[in-house]
Structure 1
């Protein structure tokens, strides 16, 4: 049985609403604005204990902001219904469904006492279901919560049996689910099993059957963030939980039935990423991955698997690929557009972007 939203969550949402974040953002001195098409959605930091989710146009300029009860993380988008979901940062206490056209909050779901959310989710390809990464607080047992979109986002099933600490889940073109399983048992954000962690890239059928599970040679590489190239290639980004002076590859590529293949860079280049990959996106030819703690992003050739550009970007955060063009956000407010290595442009927005972006297709 799902719990209703707690009084604390309600109070946090109402408090956040007081600063007007749910209103459309108007240019200074204007009483109306030319309609912009919602294209990108991501979470943002708005000062001490103030968080929001932002709907932006194709350049990353904000159209509207909605307040969040606590810090957000990933975004799922259902373009057919005009819905998006902002997921709380792990160990998350809520996810919020909203209409990205109007800014209306559709549902605000809170985690039960013994569960938490891991910060990510994805809609099924037909938009009828929402799959959410969840965990059992006492054990970190991984769960994919399945919610019926047509029935007010009621939970209808749970998938499990693939490991501890799932982080990101994505839907493949054929309807399978790919899950980045971190393998870490945590108390809050404190890891408890680094010596025995078992991360994996796991694939489930749309009905929850475990189809395939792949691992890396180094079990201290916690598999966390995922992307696919629009076809059958999955990219996974890792957080290294081993010795601080070691810098193993933090990105790998996979196709069904094959092995995980690490992407290539020199150890000193991997060191720039500060042991953590955040957002990943792939075009036909290129793979781009960001690192907020490393204040940088890298571009790899998908054909060779080799790093071809390593660029500085303060608090590099979200990235999406649309029609072969990457859009990259940052906590500094800069938004970059790049189609290939060393061919980029940038604008400055007033939004301190946080963690991830998703594109409305």
Structure 2
């Protein structure tokens, strides 16, 4: 098995090797190259972790050091604020101004709490919702932070399960949580035979609106996206038999059953039991797998896998200007609006985990 340190060494060699030439991005080039468009966590060296603000091509505009490895980033474009969350089980969240690069606040977890790596702002930007857990039990918590009051914690929402990971917001303000269902000691799972993952819908006040499950309880629901309308996409980490390769992506609309996306078992095997980032347009769904060093594009209408592509340490994906932008731990940035039409550049940033778009 390749260790994390070995993988990072190989990726760094790829990152600072031969540069990929810059390619034109059509209408996307009308934006200023100094305009913040993307933000994500990155690795700069051994135990050197950053959060990076980039332009539309993934070129670094400014960066801030992080106390430890980061994971997801929440963005509030009207305020110019962003929040970097520590990788689970995380000890911090860091608020910063993405225009100036100034750190505004560093919040550390209480002794009996940890962060799960993701968060989202409310529609009006007044509240920050962060996925958290109770250390001894992995009891799921959504921490609610008052933005105007210096990000003071105002409430905790709970009662929906254990091990929440990503949280997103629908267009009507409804919160959707990928509840992994796994009780852990650090990163070691303790309850795989009895884990209970779910896709959970909450009101902004924490009322449980809906909760649905996949047939295979070993599919830990972790990463989420929505299509700008009513469809939620969820990506899973499979915690069952190592030689089984079930579907790792599903889509859902409130009041309906979950629908698994389609691919052949050997194609699912390429994803190495793990989906990281997801994004969707009206027609297409794109999902990455850093463990599988690949990403796939599915037809939203048919649910069929249309294209499966290699990408070293495939990490974040967002939709910006109706096009997918995909990041890589090897520094590549892929721009792709449709299957079989990708363009690539080298950003010289060793991207890590997820991207968020700045509107």
TM-score, normalized by length of structure 1? 0.90
CA distance in 2, matches of 1:213, 1:254: 11
- Matched residue, 1:330: 328
CA-to-partner distance for each residue in 1:39-87, whole Å, 9 max, x for gaps? 0000001111100000000000000110000000000000000000000
Secondary structure at the aligned position of 2:51 is classed as: strand
Contact 1:278 1:289 in 2 (8 A): yes
- Matched residue, 1:254: 252
- Matched residue, 2:209: 211
Number of residues of Structure 1 aligned to a counterpart in Structure 2: 328
CA distance in 2, matches of 1:252, 1:175: 22
Runs of 5+ unmatched residues, structure 1: 1-33
- Matched residue, 1:58: 56
Contact 1:284 1:324 in 2 (8 A): no
Shift of 1:35: 6.6
CA distance in 1, matches of 2:72, 2:129: 13
Equivalent of residue 305 in structure 1, options 303, 306, 315: 303
- Tell whether 2:94 aligns with 1:96: yes
- Matched residue, 2:22: none
CA distance in 2, matches of 1:60, 1:235: 24
CA distance in 1, matches of 2:74, 2:147: 13
- Matched residue, 2:81: 83
Aligned-residue Cα RMSD (Å) equals 0.7
CA distance in 1, matches of 2:216, 2:45: 38
Runs of 4+ residues over 2 Å off in structure 1: none
Equivalent of residue 321 in structure 1, options 319, 322, 331: 319
CA distance in 1, matches of 2:257, 2:82: 33
Contact 2:276 2:288 in 1 (8 A): yes
Contact 2:328 2:351 in 1 (8 A): yes
Contact 2:140 2:159 in 1 (8 A): yes
CA distance in 2, matches of 1:166, 1:323: 30
- Matched residue, 1:358: 356
Contact 2:277 2:316 in 1 (8 A): yes
CA distance in 1, matches of 2:347, 2:285: 25
- Matched residue, 1:9: none
- Matched residue, 1:17: none
Contact 2:33 2:55 in 1 (8 A): no
Contact 2:57 2:347 in 1 (8 A): no
Secondary structure at the aligned position of 2:148 is classed as: helix
Contact 2:313 2:330 in 1 (8 A): yes
- Matched residue, 1:180: 178
Equivalent of residue 169 in structure 2, options 171, 185, 188: 171
- Matched residue, 1:14: none
Shift of 1:323: 3.0
Runs of 5+ unmatched residues, structure 2: 1-31
Secondary structure at the aligned position of 1:269 is classed as: helix
Contact 2:180 2:197 in 1 (8 A): yes
- Matched residue, 1:276: 274
CA distance in 1, matches of 2:291, 2:71: 15
Give the number of the structure with larger relative contact order, counting CA–CA contacts within 8 Å between residues 6 or more apart.
2
CA distance in 1, matches of 2:33, 2:229: 33
CA-to-partner distance for each residue in 1:196-236, whole Å, 9 max, x for gaps? 00000000011100010000000000000000001110000
TM-score, normalized by length of structure 2? 0.91
Contact 2:296 2:309 in 1 (8 A): yes
Contact 2:238 2:274 in 1 (8 A): yes
CA distance in 2, matches of 1:234, 1:35: 32
Equivalent of residue 232 in structure 1, options 230, 253, 262: 230
CA distance in 2, matches of 1:206, 1:323: 28
- Matched residue, 2:27: none
CA distance in 2, matches of 1:56, 1:74: 15
Contact 2:33 2:56 in 1 (8 A): no
Equivalent of residue 293 in structure 1, options 266, 291, 294: 291
Contact 1:336 1:346 in 2 (8 A): yes
- Matched residue, 1:147: 145
